[in-house]
């Protein structure tokens, strides 16, 4: 059984990280969907956090020289504020809420983002971005393009955007691991061993995906990202509505 879980997680982590390396978020959505089939909601979100921490953490470390610490600080305050609130109200995840919540998230990729006037370089906007990202990543497991909408209008160099986003995403995933630790601590040791072995492949998948995306045009990248994320969201939403009915 251990070998089956190890092979399945290794393949899943690599392929979903490859997608994330190309499209930015689709892989994380698919990985969570797979984990929700295998484990209770809280446990699935915690495991997802471990794997995504490795993926995002590696990107943040490799590009650490470009992190905008002022923006990151405000984003962190927002994430911590959301975490404290959800902890205070003793939030418990529900599978239907997670499925529908994630299913609706791709709507963001179709919004006219340039008209929203959101800018992460403004402290209040950065705090709001962290607040929304923290609330979503804990309540439904992923934040999707939430952070992206706050960087679309910044004048930051693309390397600073990538580094700062990777850093706040790493913190968000660490936060949800802590939030759902009790749900995950009772997993069989063999499962955790398989996750820890598979997790480094997230780095390889992300690196491979980055090489592929360099060969895409901006127009193709935006079009494929929208449709891939929308397709994944449609699966989530359909499954959630079916369980609701």
Q: From CA 135, how far away is CA 106, in angstroms rounded?
A: 17
Contact 190, 6 (CB under 8 A): no
Residue 111: CA atoms inside 13 Å, Cβ hemisphere, count?
17
What pLDDT does residue 5 have? 67
A 10 A CB-CB count for 243 gives: 12
pLDDT digits (tens, 9 = 90+) for 185-204: 777 777 777 777 777 777 77
pLDDT digits (tens, 9 = 90+) for 83-134: 999 999 999 888 998 999 888 887 776 776 666 677 888 899 999 999 999 9
Contact 31, 199 (CB under 8 A): no
Contact 142, 32 (CB under 8 A): yes
A 10 A CB-CB count for 245 gives: 5
What pTM was computed for the model? 0.83
List the domain boundaries for the chain: 2-244
What DSSP letter does each residue of 93-104 carry, written as one string? --HHHHHHHHHH
């Amino acid at each position: 059984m251990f070998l089956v879980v190890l092979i399945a997680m290794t393949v899943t982590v690599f392929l979903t990280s490859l997608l994330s390396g190309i499209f930015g978020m689709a892989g994380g959505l698919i990985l969570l969907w797979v984990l929700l089939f295998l484990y209770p909601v809280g446990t699935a979100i915690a495991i997802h956090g471990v794997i995504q921490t490795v993926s995002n953490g590696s990107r943040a470390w490799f590009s650490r020289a470009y992190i905008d610490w002022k923006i990151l600080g405000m984003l962190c305050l927002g994430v911590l504020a959301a975490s404290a609130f959800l902890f205070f109200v003793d939030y418990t995840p529900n599978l239907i809420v997670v499925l529908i919540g994630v299913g609706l998230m791709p709507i963001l990729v179709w919004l006219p983002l340039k008209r929203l006037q959101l800018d992460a370089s403004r402290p209040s906007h950065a705090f709001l971005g962290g607040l929304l990202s923290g609330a979503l990543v804990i309540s439904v497991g992923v934040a999707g393009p939430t952070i992206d909408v706050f960087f679309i209008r910044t004048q930051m160099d693309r390397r600073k955007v990538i580094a700062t986003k990777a850093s706040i995403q790493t913190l968000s995933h660490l936060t949800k691991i802590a939030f759902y630790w009790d749900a995950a601590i009772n997993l069989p040791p063999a499962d955790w061993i398989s996750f820890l072995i598979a997790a480094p492949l997230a780095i390889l998948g992300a690196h491979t995906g980055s090489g592929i995306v360099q060969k895409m045009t901006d127009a193709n990248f935006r079009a494929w990202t929208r449709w891939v994320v929308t397709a994944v969201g449609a699966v989530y939403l359909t499954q959630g509505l079916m369980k609701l009915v």
